[in-house]
Chains A and B, each alone.
Chain A
């Protein structure tokens, strides 16, 4: 997981409004909102960062230990990349 690249699904409509991302999934038109940390991960998921690199950034930017950062990021990514949601896409890094 940590070495995979993270990409936002291009079909998702989204905006960040005062540190909170609002997403509309094209598949089922459901609305999702992300909190500040989730929003930061979403913004970083632009295809230039691996999950591991994002864990590092979250660890640096927020007051959490590395282990918690990793567990939280992996859980979040797994959830949003799940078959049902498909909001984030994981791909092999080059």
Chain B
């Protein structure tokens, strides 16, 4: 009656994709944040939105998600701990048998909160770390002491036995410390993830994009064996085979087995997507998930339908994203400069690796 143990989440995710279940949802419970990160895409994070969902409304959202089959629930923001009712919402989510994780800057996690999170059996807490030193981290967050607090939160969570993780957005301002961040994660005994993509702000302002890594920095990051994607080790034939397989695939999980819910009840394909599929104050989650034309459009799209991309040899290396395509080109299915440019850099790195391997052999 019980299958053998299966590596984490893979199969459930597959089932969810096949059955169109919103298996994984990010709930941005507030836009309010106590930091002022330079690259933050949340416009208006200095204060809470007057339209923010109440505790009862947020609980009703959770009821509907449980009903729809959501299993993995991430509380995010803004800074989710600025909601006075966050622990109450997490406890409610646990009663509904969600697997809960939290994305936070860690500022408000003291010993008591760490204990509560352990008691609540939160699956994972991801802490945003934007440098390996106070100088770098604090200069990006705009708040002195934020590095020490984030580090302290990581340590407290570890002491309590709560699974903690470092999440870093790598950009020009902290690139010089990326190796130290990896070392720091090792010293703390926590996993880390690094994302090299700074997004536009959610009002479409692209001023943040200048913080993205230079080409050389991006290539150096990819060349690091613990960071580059697996596709970088494929040879030409394997890449072509991978391209053919990927042509029939969905563009991404957004709207297929994943979505985002904003502090005001908007349901969107993901945090970056600048259009809403509906609002939970007006319609039920099930109606929005099942009937919204926006989700329908994303569900019907396959890479083979993308006019600019379907014949592109770099498709397996490309991280094109419908939300960014919409922001940059006004069309979620178009090719766009950042993606094409970065895919070309990845191809350079891949090629250099093959060359190096053939010289070495």
Q: List 8 A-B contacts (CB under 8 A).
A: A15-B97, A17-B19, A17-B69, A18-B19, A29-B123, A31-B6, A31-B9, A33-B11
Is A57 engaged at the interface, CB distance under 8 Å to the other chain? no
Q: Is A24 an interface residue (CB 8 A)?
A: yes
Number of A residues with CB within 8 Å of any CB on chain B: 26
Chain A CB within 10 Å, residue with most, of B1, B10, B121: B1
Which 7 pairs of residues, A with B, have the shortest CB-CB distance?
A38-B1, A13-B99, A11-B121, A26-B121, A22-B12, A24-B99, A15-B71
Q: How large is the interface on B (under 10, 10 to 19, 20 to 34, 35 or more residues)?
A: 20 to 34
- Contact (Cβ within 8 A) B12 A31: yes
The answer to whether A31 touches B5 (Cβ under 8 A) is yes
CB of A93 within 8 A of chain B?
no
Complex contacts, B9 vs chain A, CB 8 Å: 24, 31
By a CB distance below 8 angstroms, the chain B residues around A12 are 97
Complex contact B123–A34 (CB within 8 A): no
Bitwise interface map of B from 16 to 27 toward A, beta carbon under 8 Å scored 1, else 0? 100101000000
Choice from A17, A32, A80 contacting B21 with Cβ under 8 Å: A17
A41 within 8 A of B: yes
Answer yes or no: A66 CB below 8 A from chain B CBs.
no
Per the bound structure, the CA–CA distance linking A18 and B99 in Å amounts to 19
Q: Check B312 for interface membership: any CB of A closer than 8 A.
A: no
Q: Is the CB of A80 within 8 A of B2?
A: yes
For the complex formed, measure the closest distance between the CB of A47 and the CB atoms of chain B, giving whole angstroms.
14
CB distance from A63 to the nearest CB of B (A): 16
- 8 Å CB contact of A30 from B5, B19, B70, B94: B5
